Amino acid sequence: MEKNQLVELTIKDQSQDGRGIASCDGLIVFAEGCVVGDRVSARLTKIKKRYALARVEEFLESSEYRLDDVCPYIDECGGCSFGKLKYEKQLELKERHVRDVLERIGGIESPELEPIISMSEPYFYRNKARLAIYPKTRSVGFLGRMSHKVIDCHECRLQSEPVVAVADALRDSFDECEDAKKIKNLVVKTSFTSGEVMVVPTVEEKDVDLESFIYTVDDRINAIPGFDDGFEYYLSSVALDVSDNKPSKQHLNRAEIIAGRHVIEDEMLGLRFEISPYSFYQVNPVQAEHLYEKAVEYAGIKGGETVLDLYCGVGTIGLFMARAGAGKVIGIELVKEAVLNANRNAVINGIVNAIYYTGKAEEELPKLREEGKIEKADVVILDPPRKGCDEVLLKAVVDTEADRIVYISCNPATMSRDIKYLVEKGYEYVKGTPVDMFPHTGHVECIALIQRVKS
């Protein structure tokens, strides 16, 4: 095989970023724009020791799994990497991916996996968007596939209606509000139960006048037709995020409320939650309910257990554990705003046996153990970011001698790595369930039950 050679490929799999995967002369070949089942003629553009890249020249046979009705921006936007693939096949690939990493990275032979939890209507499910902006071309949307180009998206099949309304408002404001051009990116949070919308523009300087932009956002959201049951969206909060262009983390709490409330409220499985600008809250509330129901099931709460909720966000999982009968819930979260939300959420839901601490879980858990605030835990909930858990934290978790660990992850690969560590320290993988939290993308959530081996 050599560069510029024309080869015939049959696509057998897809990568997380949506590229088709085929095999040719013993080499893995990645081809852009293909789906599983396509047969194509492609020209090799780059050849490495272990893989090659190819550009499709001609579709010889179209896959039965290919979708015809797709988003008009799908070839440019980096959002829906699986968007050209029928939903049933997406689910099959994601379930296979979870099983593969559990075996290959986790070292688990024939892992028990429950069927992936799918969505009945896998569109318009996101309650949060981060809009990219390029004022020179009046572009408001999302970054392009594997690029920093801003794709000007006037619709999105994953986002809620208020996101499109806010994007339209910003385009309108480029002419009417000079300081609107200073907005670097824009976060929109939406509650699907209260109808509240929070808008968080990021700027480089605090002294900006966004009054006319805010009024335009309000008008655009109010123009969204109401639902038959009387539900309506409305602008509830605007928080200004001031960035000085230096590397920073959201937990530095740079946001200042410049209009409306400090939080928006959402309801899930009968509990109410307040959410601040930087607080983590699952982006797909419909699937989050299924995920949290499965977490309570895996935790096996009988009554009176001590539960550690690590990377707890606004306290969702721990509060569901408390409602199920846990005797005590202790949560740890890095983002101070989220911890304030979590403690407040315990109060507004009448839960008095949950307490939340601010700090890095890998630092705070050993500290709390040294201070005698945590001795032994019965259940540990792990819900880390994509990079997974620090080994120092995993060691501290093992030291609690918890009988059960419920691990929730948006990155099955790092979850599998962490499970391997826990297995080496006296635990066993029991079972897991993939949850399709992000339809039409290559990402998948997974929840696993890990149990201490009785000596």
Q: What is the pLDDT of residue 454?
A: 82
Q: What is the pLDDT of residue 250?
A: 47
Structural domains in the chain plus CATH codes = 5-61 (2.40.50.140), 89-120+284-452 (3.40.50.150), 128-275 (2.40.50.1070)
313, two tokens: 């966000």
Q: Exposure pattern of 332-342 as b/e (b: 16+ CB <10 Å)? A: bbbbbbbbbbb
Tens digits of per-residue pLDDT, 421-444?
999 999 999 999 999 999 999 999
Q: In what order do the strands lie in the sheet with 128-134?
A: 150-152, 139-143, 128-134, 185-190, 196-203, 234-242, 255-260
Specify the 3-state DSSP secondary structure of 205.
Answer: coil
Answer for the pair 327, 379: CB distance below 8 angstroms, yes or no: no
Q: What is the pLDDT of residue 248?
A: 47
Helix 336-348 to helix 316-324 angle (10° resolution) is 30
The length of the chain, given as a count of residues? 455
Q: What is the DSSP letter of 135?
A: G
Tens digits of per-residue pLDDT, 377-430?
999 999 999 999 999 999 999 999 999 999 999 999 999 999 999 999 999 999
Q: Is 410 an active-site residue?
A: yes
350: region left, alpha or beta (phi > 0 left; psi from -120 to 50 alpha): left
C-alpha 376/C-alpha 369 separation (Å) is 9
Q: What is the pLDDT of residue 244?
A: 67
- Say which of 34, 80, 312, 410 is annotated catalytic: 410
Q: What is the pLDDT of residue 146?
A: 83
Q: Which residues pair with 139 in a beta bridge?
A: 134
Helix 412-424 to helix 87-104 angle (10° resolution) is 30
Q: What is the pLDDT of residue 251?
A: 42
Element (H, E) at 236: strand 234-242
Counting as low any pLDDT under 70, the low residues of the chain are 244-254, 455
- What is the amino acid identity at position 194? S
